Chains A and B, each alone.
Chain A
Amino acid sequence: MNLRRDVFQAIADPTRRAILLLVASQSLTAGAIASNFDTARPTISKHLQILTECELLHQEQSGREVHYHINAKKMKEVADFIEPFRQMWDERFNKLEAVMKAYKPKK
């Protein structure tokens, strides 16, 4: 299986991107991560599982709690990340275009 493609699939989801952003600045427990979302806890767990399987997140046991932290190594090659970055901007600019096209200036 193409692992690299899996990484892109993992970050194609907005909730998973939001999770990675949360964990980028500090390691968090599943509960702390889930508290940021309206989504049901099992759904967040599923997202965490996918991110962990793609090795974008690492699990670390501390006492009874599991902390998730970002795997910097997995996010090493810049060239690999230009395309998702480009797509993100493409989507934003598409929205800009749609919003401005819908705007009818008052004459």
Chain B
Amino acid sequence: MKQKTQVHAEDGKQDLVITRHFDLPLELLFKAYEEAEFIEQWMGTKVLKLESRKHGSYSFETSNPKGDVAFTATGVIHEFISNQKIIRTFEMENMQFGVQLEVYEFEALTAGTSKLSMHVIYESVEQRDQVLKLPFTQGINMAHNRIQKIFSTIS
């Protein structure tokens, strides 16, 4: 069976592509990236600022399992086309991972399914490899069951 999430990273290159098929209509998938309320829920992060528009910017704060701030991620939005495309930068402040350029492409497959393609370009090959080898940098919050808590209050 084909995996729903795929990662394509070639040796010696400073970028990678992540693709995912969702059992969600395109509009709902896009909403998950557009609105702070949903970003907080699925990313388990606190959204301090999010201007979902061309030349807007954002700031997310992620806590460690104890509840202290682990890192703040910020970036600017270069392009924002509803249900189609987001181009933004992403940087974790006070970390050694540099800044990355992210190109998100949203696509409807059927009425109820959609596809996300995420092209991430790093400052250098070394930086990309460092991030690849530290997958937990973005998963630090997994220890939380915050998502499930919010999830159960919604339904």
Q: A25-B95, A37-B65, A93-B20 are in contact. Are A99 and B129 (CB under 8 A)?
A: no
Q: Is B84 an interface residue (CB 8 A)?
A: no
Residue of A nearest to B21 (CB): A93
CA distance A75 to B140 in the complex (A): 18
Residue numbers of A with Cβ under 8 A of B are 11, 14-18, 20-21, 24-25, 36-39, 75, 78-79, 81-82, 84-93, 95-103
By a CB distance below 8 angstroms, the chain B residues around A85 are 7, 132, 135
Closest-by-CB residue of B relative to A20 is B136
Nearest CB in chain B: distance from A3 CB, A: 16
From B20, B133, B142, B150, contact of A14 by CB (8 A): B142
Residues of chain B within 8 A of A93, CB atoms compared: 4-5, 20, 22, 116
Number of interface residues of B (CB under 8 A): 47
A105 to B20: give the CA distance in the assembly, Å: 23
Q: Select which of A21, A38, A95, A100 is within 8 A of B66 by beta carbon.
A: A38
In whole angstroms, how far apart are the Cα atoms of A16 and B65 in the complex?
A: 11
Cβ–Cβ contact A84 & B143, under 8 A: no
Question: Are A89 and B7 neighbours in the complex by a CB distance under 8 Å?
Answer: yes
Given A100-B32, A103-B28: A15 touches B65 (CB 8 Å cut-off) = yes
